[in-house]
Amino acid sequence: MSEPITFHDRVAIVTGAGGGLGRAYALELARRGAQVLVNDVRGASAVAAEITDAGGQAVASVHSVTTEEGGRAIVEDALQAFGAVDVLINNAGIVRDRTLANLSTEDLQAVLDVHLGGSFHVTQPAFRVMKARGYGRLLFVTSASGLFGNFGQANYAAAKMGLVGLAMSAAIEGARYGIHSNALAPLAHTPMTAGLFDGAIDGFDPEYVVPMALYLVSERCRLTHEIFSAGGGRFARVLVGVTNGWVAAESPSPEDVHEHLGEIRDETELALPASLAEEIELARSLV
C-alpha cells in the first residue's frame, strides 16, 4: 500500500460545491488536509460549515462563475482566506436540456456561460497565481455527453467538449510552470442528473468519482493533458486520437475520398497528438 495522498498546506477551490459531486470533492479534500474554498451561488455556506464542524478548514464563496468579476473574486477570496491557490476543480454546471430543433439561444448561452465561460473566468486568475508559485493542479469536469454526444443535450455537450479544449491548452501552457491540467468525465447520480438516463446511473454514487478527481489534483499525480472517465467503480482513460489515414495523390476528389474511406478510418495505427503542432508534424511525416 502506497503512502496516503494528502493535501496538507495546499489550498483548493471547488466551484459548484454546494451539492452533488462538488460537495463530495470539497469534503474529501478537506478530510485529507486541504484548505478549501467552497464556491456556489447556493449551498456553499452549509458545505463550508460541514467541513469546519468536522475540524477542517474551509470558507464559502457565493460569487457567480459566469462573469469575469465573479471568477476573479472567487480566487481573491481564496487568497484572502488562505494566501494561495494550488488546486482548482472547475465543477460548476447547469442543464437546460432541449432537443436541437427546440433549443433556444437563451438556453444555449446560459449553459455555455456557466460551464465554459465559468471555467475560464476562474481558471485564468487561478492560473496566474499558480504560474507565479510554480505549482498548480487544474481539473476540468467534462462529460460523456460532450465527448460522445447525447440526445437533447446539444448545449451541454458543446460546453463540456469546449472544456476539453480549455483543459488541454492549459496543460500545454502550464507545463513549464509546474501546472498540470486534466479533464474528468464523471458518471454519477446527483441532483443534476436525477431523472435522466432512465435511471441507468441511479446506483452510481458520487463517492465513486472522488478518488479519480482527487488523484488528478494531487501532488502525487504527474499526469497532464489527459481525459478520464469515472463512475460506478470503473476508472478509464478517454483518448482523442487520429488514424494514419490515406495519403492522396495530387488534386484528390470527393470521389477519391469515398473510395479510400477504409484507409481513412482504419484504426490499426492510432496516434495521440499532444497538441496541434504534433498533429501538423504527424501529417507532414506521412505526406
Catalytic positions: 156
* Nearest by Cα to 46 from 59, 30, 64: 59
* Nearest by Cα to 217 from 254, 179, 270: 179
Q: Coil, strand, or helix at residue 35?
A: strand
According to DSSP, the residues that pair with 183 across neighbouring strands are 140, 227
Output DSSP code: residue 251: S
Q: Are strands 270-271 and 234-238 parallel, antiparallel or unpaired?
A: unpaired
* Nearest by Cα to 57 from 25, 27, 20: 27
Sheet containing strand 179-186, strands side by side? 57-61, 35-39, 11-14, 87-90, 136-141, 179-186, 227-231, 234-238
CA 181 distance to own-chain centroid: 9
